[in-house]
Chains A and B, each alone.
Chain A
Amino acid sequence: MDRVSTAEARTEPGWRRLLCGTPREVLARLVQDDPLGVREKVGARLRDDALLLDADRVHLRALARIARFGNRYRGRPELQPWVESAVAEAAEELLREEHEAARARPSPGSDRPSVFSSLAPPLGLEPSAMRAACAAFNALPCAERSAFVDLVLRGRSLDELAHASGASASEVARRARRALDVLLAAALPDSGAEGER
């Protein structure tokens, strides 16, 4: 297999060698040692945007998109921003697909488990409901998602978040509460949880 080191991939001859050929050939190079650092960029994207998406799925989609559309890359923008935009597009596509899957509302038990099923017990929810709940959560404004993720999942303090965001502590708490309400309302559609907002 045509190997291109990570450092080499970031130079022009490197990316040309990496992205030439059929999409399948490019994909074969990309899955070898991740020369473009795609996994790291997926993690950063999901963290920065506070998205509850399966990082493995975003990674696979991003690799496939880079493999398919790499033949259109001509060296501008710089390679790393171009890869980041491919990661962003992959995440955007999966957000749409997750939303569509949640909208279709499969019968209970027929849905495949979400990577976030482990969030369900602490919230008092059924693991099978987490896919729809995450889809609803991901459609929220970024400030509300971030408040919830930072406060609830990362365990940062309210004061710390208020200081970092420039909002008051009560506003940060309200944002996190709105996100929680949406999660609960999507997971328990008949509970009226969203009506408490």
Chain B
Amino acid sequence: MTRGVDWIAALDELGLVHRKEQAALLRDAASLVCATSRRGRPFVAGAARARWRQACLEAITVAEADRVDVEPLLRNLAADPVARWPAASRLARASLALDRCVAGSVALARAWICENETRAAIELLCELAAGPPHAPDRCDVLEALALALESAGALDESLDAYASALRIPGCAPRVAVSMFALALRRGDAAWIDFASARLLDLDLSIPGVRTRFQVALARAVERAVVSI
């Protein structure tokens, strides 16, 4: 065997990889449920359900072949339409039970936002955002916090959170779009400039980029109609 590779430790690690995969599938399932509400749509790409089901069935098959436990919820989700799935927060909690991580906590917070539990979401996200400034997933935390604050009507605080997210290198353009739409609603010239500056690099002559921009803008405006 390779120097230092302990077969039992390798098997344990494989079990961990299976559990993490199942947790990620539950997080994605929570996002799919969230996507049925207006506040949750920014987080889900189109045609995700078919890909999700395929990935879920494959994950179940290989976990069973390796004699690794399969989270019972996953079996039901694979068989049922999204409309019959449990609440997004329940799926996110099941994900956290398998893999306690920031991504799981963000999924739970997003679920709460969509279930109108914005106060709980803000508390959880503020706790996560209080961590070190270079933390991985920080952009997702701040984007979700901005959305939670926007949903709660704390628009200035929401703009601050969007701006903090945008200062992180690699932050998705959809965050700038959401911030831009909110800044326009507030009529805040400084934040309009800040958000639009982050959109300058987008080449809207490229059909895919233009489509994603239009979809993100439509969702941000749609969300504004709900939260005003």
Contact = CB atoms under 8 A, between A and B. Distances in A.
Interface of A: 22-24, 27-28, 31-34, 39, 56, 59-61, 63-65, 67-68, 71, 92-93, 95-97, 99-100, 103, 136, 139-140, 186
B123 interface: no
A33 B4 CA distance: 11
Contact of A33 (B2, B9, B18, B66): B2
Contact of B62 (A23, A63, A136): A23
B3 to A, nearest CB: 8
B69 to A, nearest CB: 14
B50 to A, nearest CB: 17
Nearest to B64: A22
B66 A22 contact: yes
Given A23-B62, A64-B16, A68-B17, A140 B134 contact: yes
A93 B4 CA distance: 21
B131 interface: yes
B13 A33 contact: no
Contacts of B188: none
A57 to B, nearest CB: 8
B7 to A, nearest CB: 6
A96 B132 contact: no
A61 B100 contact: no
Given A56-B4, A61-B13, A68-B17, A23 B136 contact: no
A65 B10 CA distance: 11
Given A27-B14, A56-B4, A60-B5, A139 B132 contact: yes
A63 B136 contact: no
Contact of B5 (A31, A95, A136): A31
A103 B9 contact: no
A32 to B, nearest CB: 6
Nearest to A31: B5
A139 B136 contact: yes
Contacts of A59: 4-5
6 contacts: A23-B66, A27-B11, A61-B17, A63-B10, A64-B16, A139-B135
Contacts of B203: none
Given A22-B65, A39-B3, 18 more contacts: A23-B17, A23-B18, A23-B66, A24-B65, A27-B11, A28-B7, A31-B5, A32-B2, A33-B2, A34-B2, A34-B5, A60-B5, A63-B10, A95-B136, A96-B101, A96-B137, A136-B134, A139-B132
Interface in B77-101: 100-101
Contacts of B3: 39
Contacts of B16: 61, 64
Contacts of A103: 131-132, 135
A143 B2 CA distance: 33
B20 interface: yes
A23 B65 contact: yes
A103 B135 CA distance: 9
Given A96-B136, A99-B135, A24 B11 contact: yes
A56 B2 CA distance: 11
A186 B135 CA distance: 13
Nearest to B16: A64
Interface string B1-38: 11111010111011011101100000000000000000
B20 A93 contact: yes
A139 B66 CA distance: 34
Given A33-B2, A39-B2, A100-B102, A60 B136 contact: no
A23 to B, nearest CB: 5
A62 B67 CA distance: 20
